[in-house]
Structure 1
Amino acid sequence: MGLFDGLLGNASDANHQTVKKELANVLMPDENIDLAFQLVRDLIVFTDYRLIVVDKQGLTGKKIDYKTFPYKSISRFSVETAGHFDLDAELKIWISGAADPAQSLQFRKDKSITQIQQALAVAVLK
């Protein structure tokens, strides 16, 4: 059901070894992956030091946008859960000094948004 969930906009757990290989040129030598979620081709990765959002663009996915958010620079975040008529859940992340969210991610009715919110709370508030 992972691919089907991905097509519907649901995040699914990603294999840490696969993600580590894919991010080999992005991760620091001693950086470990704590959590990873896949959204069709895109990734949301929590490491010991930062949140990485990987956005694969275009039809082939060869163009990739890597966004890094060090936990210490995340000033706040919000999660809006899906309702009965509004099927989208939304995560917004603000960085220090910014009035607008630096990142906004949409999810379909999804249990992963709760895990992502908890992981952000632990990383940012500890």
Structure 2
Amino acid sequence: MSLLNGIMGNATDANHEQVAKELEPVLIEGESVNLAYKLVRDLIVFTDYRLIIVDKQGVTGKKVDYKTFPYKSISRFSVETAGHFDLDAELKIWISGAPEPVQSLQFRKDKHINEIQKALAEAILK
């Protein structure tokens, strides 16, 4: 069911150890992966210090775009949940000084959007 969820655009839990190994060249010394979600090939990763969005591009996924959002720079975020006719949920993230969201992620109707919202709130409000 996890593969089907991934194909359908639903976020699925990702193995933290596997994600940490994949992000080894990107993580700083002492930084660890606290939460990780897979969205098809992409990743949403919460570490001790930042939110990392990993966007694998192209057919092979060899080209990768890493977006880092230090928790202290995230000024706000919004979550729009899925409805009966609009089946997509959306997460938008703003950083300090930006009038428009710097990141927008689409999810199919699933429970992980609420988990991600809670994790993001805990990270930026503490």
TM-score (norm. length: structure 1): 0.99
* Other-structure match for 2:55: 55
RMSD of the TM alignment (CA)? 0.4
After superposition, the C-alpha distances for 1:8-35 in whole angstroms (9 at most, x for unaligned) are 1100000011001100000011001110
Letter in 2 for 1:87: L
Matches of 2:10 and 2:51, distance apart in 1: 19
Matched, 1:8 2:8: yes
* Other-structure match for 1:105: 105
For these two proteins, the number of residue pairs brought into alignment is 126
* Structure 1 unpaired stretches of 5+: none
Matches of 1:90 and 1:52, distance apart in 2: 17
How far did residue 89 of structure 1 move? 0.1
Matches of 1:64 and 1:3, distance apart in 2: 21
Q: Report percent identity of matched pairs.
A: 75
Q: Which runs of 4+ in 1 moved over 4 A?
A: none
* Structure 2 unpaired stretches of 5+: none
1:78-93 correspondence to structure 2 within 5 Å: 78-93=78-93
Letter in 2 for 1:101: P
Matched, 1:27 2:27: yes
* Other-structure match for 1:116: 116
TM-score (norm. length: structure 2): 0.99
